[in-house]
Structure 1
Amino acid sequence: MSVTLTGKTALVTGANRGIGKAIVEALFERGVSKVYLAVRDAESTTELHSTYADKVETLTVDVTDASSVQALAKQATDTDIVVNNAGIMKLQSPLSGEAEAALRSEFEVNVFGLLHVAQAFEPVLVKNKGALVQLNSVASMKTFGDMTTYCASKAAAYSITQGLREKLSEQGVAVVSIHPGPIATDMGKGAGFDDAPGPDVVAKGVVDALEAGDFHNFPDDMAKQLGDEYNSYANNVILGDFSV
Structure 2
Amino acid sequence: MQINGAKALVTGANRGLGKAFAEALLARGASTVYATARRPDLIDVPGVVPLRLDITDPASIAAAAAQVGDLDILVNNAGISTNAPLLGPDTDNIRREFDTNFWGTLNVTRAFAPRLAGGAILNVISALSWYVFAPSSNGYAASKAAEWSLTNGIRLELADQKTQVTALALAIADTDMMAGYDIPKLPPIQVVTAALDGLEAGKLEVIADAPTANVKAALSGDPALFYADIPAALFG
Please, what TM-score do these two structures have when normalized by structure 2? 0.87
Structure with more of its chain in helix, by fraction: 1
Greater relative CO (CA pairs within 8 A, separation 6+): 1
Q: Secondary structure at the match of 2:79?
A: coil
Aligned 8 A contact 2:82 2:93 in 1: yes
Give unmatched runs, 5+ long, in structure 1.
Answer: 232-244
Q: Verify the 8 A CA contact 2:127 2:215 in the aligned structure 1.
A: yes
The question of whether the paired residues in 2 share the 8 Å contact of 1:184 and 1:193 is answered with: no
Q: 2 CA distance for matches of 1:33 and 1:103?
A: 38
Greater than 3 Å deviation, 4+ residue runs: 227-231
Shift in Å at residue 228 of structure 1?
4.5
Does structure 1 retain, via aligned residues, the 8 Å contact 2:3–2:29?
yes
The answer as to whether partners of 2:13 and 2:37 remain within 8 angstroms in 1 is: yes
**Unaligned runs of at least 5 residues, structure 2:** 221-236
Please tell me whether residue 105 in structure 1 is matched to residue 96 in structure 2. yes
Out of 143, 158, 164, the position equivalent to 1:168 is 158
Match of 1:240 in 2: none
What's the CA shift string for 1:57-108, capped at 9, x where partnerless?
111011011221122122112221000100000113333225x112100011
What root-mean-square deviation, in Å, do the aligned CA atoms of Structure 1 and Structure 2 show? 1.8
CA–CA separation in structure 1 for the residues paired with 2:195 and 2:219: 19
TM value normalised by structure 1: 0.85
Aligned partners of 1:82 and 1:204: how far apart in 2? 16
Residue number in structure 1 paired with 2:73: 81
Identity %: 37
Quick one: structure 1 residues 31 and 143, their matched pair in 2 at CA, closer, same or farther if it must change by over 3 Å? same
SS in 2 for 1:48: coil
- The aligned counterpart of 2:45 is 48
Aligned pairs for 1:1-244 (under 5 A) are 3-45=1-43, 47-49=44-46, 52=47, 56-98=48-90, 100-126=91-117, 129-145=118-134, 146-190=136-180, 192-193=181-182, 195-229=184-218
Counting matched residue pairs gives 220
